[in-house]
Structure 1
Amino acid sequence: MRAVGLAALSTALRGDGGQGAACGGWPYPSLVQVAFDLDGTPLLLLSTLADHTKNIARDPRVGLLFDGTAGLAEPLSGPRLSVLGRAERSDEPRHRARFLARHPGAALYAGFGDFGIYAVSVKRAHLVAGFGRVAWLDRADLLLPGVPAALAGAEAAILSHMNADHADALRLYATVLAKRRPEGAEDWIMTGIDPDGCDLRRSGEMARVDFDHSVENPEDARVTLAGLARQARRSAPGVADGESDSNDRDG
């Protein structure tokens, strides 16, 4: 779920005399950009002028489909996740900051009066991990139990430090650990860090790097990111044994 930037949003079409009045109550699918709070709560930036937002105002129940099948020869053998929840307007500054860090192009219109951040309070989810691998998940299976205050408070400083001083490490995270193509004129930047991993972006391309344990505070984040850089350097093609130890000692 955290690895994707787009989702299909399903809302119940209102029947109040609008253009869709003849289909009131029918499922209405649309495409939305999505970000996440540190605990995994989906975040949407929606305009009150859009039909899906008008539908939410009448019935906040929504469905979100996250598609992890990109690039597969047999897409139905890949993972996808349908999340059910209620979308509610959020004035939490962290939610807005995380969305715009993940989708910087949205800053062009996010300040318009009709736009706002909506947080989806998850109820249940349906996971299809491939043929015959199907399961319903409760909220506790999908989200972390809470937002770690120490990591949330330090996130902006961590991103600033990594993007200003560790471009090489970010490139290795993306190309070695996340296996993204090495070509590209722009540098990778880190757009978010949460207990499960970190998010990277290069132009319109995204990459997700998962941690091997839950990171709850900035010191653990520093140690974990430095360890990932060493791991990536050891795995990078053409790096001699021992060379990685001379690089990026402080993360």
Structure 2
Amino acid sequence: MKEQPSPIRETDDEARRLARVLLRSARHAALAVLDPETGFPLASRVLVATDIDGTPIILVSKLSAHTRALARDARASLLTGEPGKGDPLAYPRLTTQCLAEPVERGHAFYERIRTRFLARHTKAKLYIDFPDFLFFRLKPELASLNGGFGRAYQLGGNDLVIQSAANEEIAAGAAEAVRDLVERHPDVAETLARRLNAPKSASWRICGIDSSGFDLISGDFLLRYEFETLAEEADHICSNISKIAYSIP
């Protein structure tokens, strides 16, 4: 019997870039965990942001079933990627297998994660400091990318995480660098939105930067832009943003 060809393509830089954008541009996702009582998969919808290294972060209530499940078994799966008009299966999506790491108050990363989450989800300010809420970092281990019909790829966790020694330094100076950029160029976010063909919406703003790119947000729209090469410092990121916004096409 003739052996069937593998449906999995060789993972290339284009696939890695698409996977990173699908993960880092998600405002929400489907989270699947293992029910500790029955062992059955348990899926729910969660809000998503990213840490400075691109690791997904979620904010959940300790009272929820999926939080109790993660406390017993750290394995989880995150489905990201938005469908559009027509067949939903024609649009790219990414399933990321993760290990969940709790980040509660007092953790070394807590304030950074809280700030980055609120920058993307401002309405979460209503409940983010409730004592029964906590963050999880979902450390990517493996991922399955479906880029559309006939475009399937397997990726490792390192394909999705930003490997840069400058992550911590950039995190420390990110807010100030963006604030200075906006003071110099008050129209920078709107200009970026036009240059990048973002959906028409109310005012856009920069809601996050990292050494690999930046995020723009306006209402329900989130746009992720990935640099060609990693930036080495926050000022370098803002310089890249200015070039994208104001350089001659």
TM-score range, shorter chain: 0.7 to 0.9
Following TM superposition, by how much is the alpha carbon of 1:11 offset from its aligned partner in structure 2, in angstroms? 0.7
- Residues 1:72 and 1:47: Cα distance change in structure 2 (over 3 Å): same
| Residues in 1 aligned to 2:71 and 2:197: alpha-carbon distance in whole angstroms | 38
Kindly report which structure 2 residues correspond to 1:1-251, keeping only aligned pairs within 5 A, or say none.
Answer: 1-15=23-37, 24-68=38-82, 70-90=83-103, 91=107, 92=109, 93-146=111-164, 148-181=167-200, 183-184=201-202, 187-231=203-247, 234-235=248-249
Following TM superposition, by how much is the alpha carbon of 1:175 offset from its aligned partner in structure 2, in angstroms? 2.6
Deviations 1:15-73 (A, max 9, x none): 1xxxxxxxx111111000000112211100011011110111111110000014x3243
| Residues in 2 aligned to 1:29 and 1:114: alpha-carbon distance in whole angstroms | 21
| Residues in 1 aligned to 2:55 and 2:198: alpha-carbon distance in whole angstroms | 26
CA contact (8 A) 1:45 1:118 kept: yes
Following TM superposition, by how much is the alpha carbon of 1:163 offset from its aligned partner in structure 2, in angstroms? 4.2
Following TM superposition, by how much is the alpha carbon of 1:210 offset from its aligned partner in structure 2, in angstroms? 2.5
Q: State the one-letter code of the partner of 2:121.
A: H
| Residues in 2 aligned to 1:164 and 1:25: alpha-carbon distance in whole angstroms | 53
User: Rg larger in 1 or in 2?
Assistant: 1
Q: Which runs of 5+ in 1 are unaligned?
A: 16-23, 236-251
Residue 34 of structure 1 aligns to a residue whose secondary structure is strand
Q: State the one-letter code of the partner of 1:55.
A: A
CA contact (8 A) 1:173 1:209 kept: no
So what's the TM-score if we normalise by structure 2? 0.83
Q: State the one-letter code of the partner of 2:153.
A: A
Q: Which runs of 5+ in 2 are unaligned?
A: 1-22
| Residues in 2 aligned to 1:86 and 1:215: alpha-carbon distance in whole angstroms | 27
| Residues in 2 aligned to 1:13 and 1:129: alpha-carbon distance in whole angstroms | 30
- Residues 1:72 and 1:161: Cα distance change in structure 2 (over 3 Å): farther
User: Percent sequence identity over matched residues?
Assistant: 33
| Residues in 1 aligned to 2:220 and 2:70: alpha-carbon distance in whole angstroms | 28
**Root-mean-square deviation (Å):** 1.7
| Residues in 1 aligned to 2:194 and 2:90: alpha-carbon distance in whole angstroms | 25
- Residues 1:196 and 1:178: Cα distance change in structure 2 (over 3 Å): farther
Following TM superposition, by how much is the alpha carbon of 1:209 offset from its aligned partner in structure 2, in angstroms? 2.4
Q: Which one has more relative contact order, counting CA pairs under 8 Å at least 6 apart? A: 2
CA contact (8 A) 1:13 1:27 kept: yes
Deviations 1:92-135 (A, max 9, x none): 12112111111111111000000011101211111111111111
Q: Which residue of structure 2 lines up, in the alignment, with residue 241 of structure 1?
A: none
| Residues in 2 aligned to 1:217 and 1:72: alpha-carbon distance in whole angstroms | 39
| Residues in 1 aligned to 2:244 and 2:235: alpha-carbon distance in whole angstroms | 14
Q: State the one-letter code of the partner of 1:175.
A: R
| Residues in 1 aligned to 2:183 and 2:239: alpha-carbon distance in whole angstroms | 18
Number of residue pairs the alignment of both structures matches: 221
| Residues in 1 aligned to 2:184 and 2:218: alpha-carbon distance in whole angstroms | 17
Residue 173 of structure 2 aligns to a residue whose secondary structure is helix
